[in-house]
């Protein structure tokens, strides 16, 4: 009974391509997030949505576009992929007290 799920788990693609990562949570949370974890394990927030509305948008290239069709889903679309986009992307959702529940991650490799 997965709480936060992401697909795909692995994504290998070439520079210049466009790709999407999907995230779904079945916890009934109102808030969802996307994080990027680089090769040094540093975890940085990218976006946050609360009830389908964008509330946090860190300094992220506009090639990255989140979309929340409903409060249980938060997808991440990336245009014109670059080598530096290679990382592990984590989706998370949070309850009212801010405790975050993480998905298993999507390892993106751009060649």
Partner 1 sequence: AQSVTQPDIHITVSEGASLELRCNYSYGATPYLFWYVQSPGQGLQLLLKYFSGDTLVQGIKGFEAEFKRSQSSFNLRKPSVHWSDAAEYFCAVGGSSASKIIFGSGTRLSIRP
For partner 1, which is the closer residue by CB, 18 or 58? 58
Contact residues: partner 1, CB under 8 A: 4, 30-31, 40-45, 48, 50, 55-56, 90, 92, 94-105
- Please list the helix, strand and coil fractions of the chain in percent, rounded to the nearest 5, in that order: 5, 60, 40
| Gap between the Cα atoms of 88 and 90, Å rounded | 7
In angstroms, give the least distance from the CB of 110 to partner 1. Answer: 19
For partner 1, which is the closer residue by CB, 3 or 15? 3
| Gap between the Cα atoms of 5 and 73, Å rounded | 10
In angstroms, give the least distance from the CB of 61 to partner 1. Answer: 19
- For Cα atoms 60, 31, 104, give the angle at the middle one, nearest 5 degrees: 75
In angstroms, give the least distance from the CB of 16 to partner 1. Answer: 28
């Amino acid at each position: 009974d997965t709480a936060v799920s992401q697909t795909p788990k692995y994504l290998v693609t070439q520079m210049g391509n466009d790709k999407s990562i999907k995230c779904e949570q079945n916890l009934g949370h109102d808030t969802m997030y996307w994080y990027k974890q680089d090769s040094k394990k540093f975890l940085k927030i990218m976006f946050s949505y609360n009830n389908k509305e964008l509330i946090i948008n860190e300094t992220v290239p506009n090639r990255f576009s989140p979309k929340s069709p409903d409060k249980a889903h938060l997808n991440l679309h990336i245009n014109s992929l670059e080598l530096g986009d290679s990382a592990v992307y984590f989706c998370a959702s949070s309850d009212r007290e801010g405790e975050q529940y993480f998905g298993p991650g999507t390892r993106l490799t751009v060649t």
